[in-house]
Structure 1
Amino acid sequence: MARPMGSVRLKKASPVTLAVGTALCIFILYFLLGSSTPDFSASRKASAAAHPLSPPTSPFRRSTGGGKLKPPPVTHYNLNNVTITPKPLENRENILLLTPMARFYPAYWDNLLRLQYPHELITLGFILPKTKEGNEATKELQKRIAKTQKYGPERDRFKSIIILREDIDPPLVSQDEGERHKMQNQKIRRAAMAKARNSLVFSTLGPDTSWILWLDADVIETPPTIIQDLASHDQAVIAPNCFQRFWNADKKEMDERPYDFNNWQDSDTAGDLAKKMDPDDILLEGYAEMATFRTLMAYLSKEDGRLHEEVPLDGVGGAALLVKADVHRDGAMFPSFAFYHLIETEGFAKMAKRLGWQPFGLPNYKVYHYNE
């Protein structure tokens, strides 16, 4: 019997062909719907920045074809909705962790990874000089960033990371500790540091930032809860005590000693010295040639003291310093010039006080500086 015209006999597909076809369909769907990077948790997706600073900055361009481009977006931020509280963890407040860096210390980065504040709420900001050492530090920093952000576990990845390179020539070629701390080098060195700090904070401070943690690149050991601990005091500017571990040859054991002498309470002697100075002269701390007899927080630490005991300060150092974002938003910066005969972080403390923000310190809460 003849088949009706137009009918087609379908050949039955083999099991191998069906399996190959199914696998190919699955691959195409995965390619189209999947992502080239590991999936992130809902909390990270909600807090991750589309741009490290905030809104798009590309200019609007007219269409050269017949189509019409959408106008550029207008982004609204209500700073009244940005909380700055003594419970930043519970309120999921955004942290900006800033570090001027001339050398890269692996222990510094390892310490960052140990921070127990959610990394998806931490933006890292770095500024490095355009020197041979600065170039090497940048390479090492980028290696660690790639390892953490691309290949590391999700819990270690930070919200965003910003790297700036300085546009000024460094005043000192060598970053050796002995050279950095020579008295005759202090004014030019700290003026350059002040400019770097100002460039860093005002280039990275975002509209959703609650707290800024300043942490020097050679601070290699902090409590993993340092952000929560310092913020719990609800102070606008607060500094822990910076020490240094070393081998004590007399005791034949590891010991520790004070390191940062820029956290201090003022003295009448310092005031009298300032009155005799020229307008551009600065007071320096920790030098026998300029005895100020200030009360140094470095020497207020007690072995049996309360960990969270507070003392008011007139000068602060930058080894580790937690600052409410509103302090910088109010205009407090690091003077690169003689400001009441103070400069850089000590000048910042004076400026903050003039704006109504009283700095405090924690004599018994310690962070540790690298020992060269």
Structure 2
Amino acid sequence: MARPMGSVRLKKTNPVTLAVGAALCIFIIYFLIGSSAPDFSASRKATAASHPLSPPTSPFRKPTGGGKPKPPPVARYNLNNVTITPNPLENRENILLLTPMARFYPEYWDNLLRLSYPHELITLGFILPRTKEGNAATTELQKRITKTQKYGPEKDRFKSIIILREDFEPPLTSQDEAERHKMANQKIRRAAMARSRNSLLFSTLGPSTSWVLWLDADVVETPPDIIQDLARHDKPIIVPNCFQRFWNDEKKEMDERPYDFNNWQDSPTALDLAKEMGPDDILLEGYSEMATFRALMAYMHKEDGLLHEEVPLDGVGGAALLVKADVHRDGAMFPPFAFYHLIETEGFAKMAKRLGWQPIGLPNYKVAYPLALTI
């Protein structure tokens, strides 16, 4: 018998197929109505700071999940409780040791390890340029840091170490001594140095810091007690005398010569020169083309003089420079512009004096630069 036209016979569906289809539908619905943004809170926990003021400075994130979230912590610091005394060792005062670095000298790091001040009270801060030399210096610095902080004796390990990279192009491609000291390069070079120092200072100065020791990367020899020796004078700004060791062909023996001419007492000649300058011009020291006749601390050294003899200064260098943290907190920084016709560390000394802080020099207390082979 023929079937009526239009009738359709349905095949019975397998129950397993129905179950798979239902599961697939549930998964699609869950996917569509679920959160469209993935939750990275678990991965963020590894990089988020456990304390809003502790490095790394990742933003503090409120915890996710059920329940009422805890508020971010509030840190309180009473700067009146931060001591800055002539006896920093007895009072367990924190030292911030800062170094702008373009080249890495192994002797510099070895000298740091010889410092007698407890390393657990010293925070190191570095800033390096984004150049080929800067990259190489960063690599070598990180190797020495790892060796000291991870594998070295406990007494050698520092409280913390911060490495920054400059966020601007360096004005000079070479760090050779002859190129760095050309008079024509001084304003742009020292302006860049001032920017580096300011970036390093403002990024690392903490509320518990008592003293800031600026130490150039090419200062490879200091007395082990330099922090205690300089702090005992209880001066807001104090600098030792910087020399360079070299082989003297005339004497056929090792010798030393003055090296840092930025520690000076002003002169009437220099003040008169400044009066004739334009607002953006700067005075430079140590160049015959600009004779200032200032009294240079480099030439005040006496072999039989008192080690801790003090002299007042109007300009300072940054080779080795101990500063009470309150001086920087007062606003004394390193001007990258002409400040009373001075720039960088010399401008810092002028700014500090304007704020009421008198720089002091120790002409008979010496630190040394790298070895030079010829006169």
Q: Provide the TM-score with structure 1 as the length reference.
A: 0.85
Distance 1:160 1:131 in 2: 25
Structure 2 vs 1, CA of residues 244 and 57 (structure 1 numbering), >3 Å: closer, same or farther?
Answer: closer
In the alignment, what sits opposite 1:177?
Answer: 177
Deviation, 1:371, is 3.1
Gaps of 5+ in 1: 1-49
Deviation, 1:69, is 2.8
Give the letter aligned to residue 148 of structure 1. T
Structure 2 vs 1, CA of residues 85 and 176 (structure 1 numbering), >3 Å: closer, same or farther?
Answer: same
Give the letter aligned to residue 363 of structure 1. P
Give the letter aligned to residue 227 of structure 2. I
Q: What SS does structure 1 have at the residue aligned with 2:362?
A: strand
Structure 2 vs 1, CA of residues 249 and 167 (structure 1 numbering), >3 Å: closer, same or farther?
Answer: same
Give CA-to-partner distance per residue, 1:185-221, whole Å, 9 cap, x none.
0000000000000000010000000000000000000
| Superposition pairs of residues 122-201 of structure 1, within 5 angstroms | 122-201=122-201
Distance 1:189 1:80 in 2: 38
User: Is 1:306–2:311 an aligned residue pair?
Assistant: no
Distance 1:348 1:60 in 2: 35
Give CA-to-partner distance per residue, 1:276-333, whole Å, 9 cap, x none.
1111000000000000000000000000000000000000000000000000000000
In the alignment, what sits opposite 1:266?
Answer: 266
| Superposition pairs of residues 46-57 of structure 1, within 5 angstroms | 54=54
Structure 2 vs 1, CA of residues 269 and 170 (structure 1 numbering), >3 Å: closer, same or farther?
Answer: same
User: Is 1:211–2:206 an aligned residue pair?
Assistant: no
Identity %: 85
Give CA-to-partner distance per residue, 1:315-370, whole Å, 9 cap, x none.
00000000000000000000000000000000000000000000000000000011
| Superposition pairs of residues 67-82 of structure 1, within 5 angstroms | 67-82=67-82
Give the letter aligned to residue 313 of structure 1. L
In the alignment, what sits opposite 2:282?
Answer: 282
Distance 1:360 1:175 in 2: 29
In the alignment, what sits opposite 1:5?
Answer: none
Distance 1:232 1:342 in 2: 29
Give the letter aligned to residue 283 of structure 1. L
| Superposition pairs of residues 326-345 of structure 1, within 5 angstroms | 326-345=326-345
Give the letter aligned to residue 263 of structure 1. N
Deviation, 1:70, is 1.8
Question: Between Structure 1 and Structure 2, whose CA radius of gyration is higher?
Answer: 2
Deviation, 1:67, is 3.0
Deviation, 1:53, is 6.0
Structure 2 vs 1, CA of residues 56 and 70 (structure 1 numbering), >3 Å: closer, same or farther?
Answer: farther
8 Å Cα contact 2:239-2:322 kept in structure 1 = yes
Deviation, 1:269, is 0.2
Deviation, 1:157, is 0.1
Distance 2:133 2:55 in 1: 34
Distance 1:163 1:53 in 2: 17
Deviation, 1:72, is 1.3
Give the letter aligned to residue 328 of structure 2. H
8 Å Cα contact 1:87-1:228 kept in structure 2 = yes
Distance 1:53 1:370 in 2: 37
| Superposition pairs of residues 55-66 of structure 1, within 5 angstroms | 58-59=58-59, 61-62=61-62, 64-66=64-66
8 Å Cα contact 1:60-1:71 kept in structure 2 = no
In the alignment, what sits opposite 2:359?
Answer: 359
Gaps of 5+ in 2: 1-49
8 Å Cα contact 1:52-1:160 kept in structure 2 = no
In the alignment, what sits opposite 1:325?
Answer: 325
Structure 2 vs 1, CA of residues 360 and 52 (structure 1 numbering), >3 Å: closer, same or farther?
Answer: farther
The alignment covers a number of residue pairs equal to 323
Distance 2:56 2:78 in 1: 18
Deviation, 1:65, is 3.0
8 Å Cα contact 1:52-1:161 kept in structure 2 = no
Q: What SS does structure 2 have at the residue aligned with 1:282?
A: coil
Give CA-to-partner distance per residue, 1:87-128, whole Å, 9 cap, x none.
000000000000000000000000000000000000000000
In the alignment, what sits opposite 2:84?
Answer: 84
Distance 1:144 1:51 in 2: 28
In the alignment, what sits opposite 2:93?
Answer: 93
Q: Provide the TM-score with structure 2 as the length reference.
A: 0.84
Give the letter aligned to residue 267 of structure 1. S
Q: What SS does structure 2 have at the residue aligned with 1:271?
A: helix
In the alignment, what sits opposite 1:34?
Answer: none
8 Å Cα contact 1:53-1:204 kept in structure 2 = no
8 Å Cα contact 1:105-1:218 kept in structure 2 = yes
Distance 1:60 1:362 in 2: 46
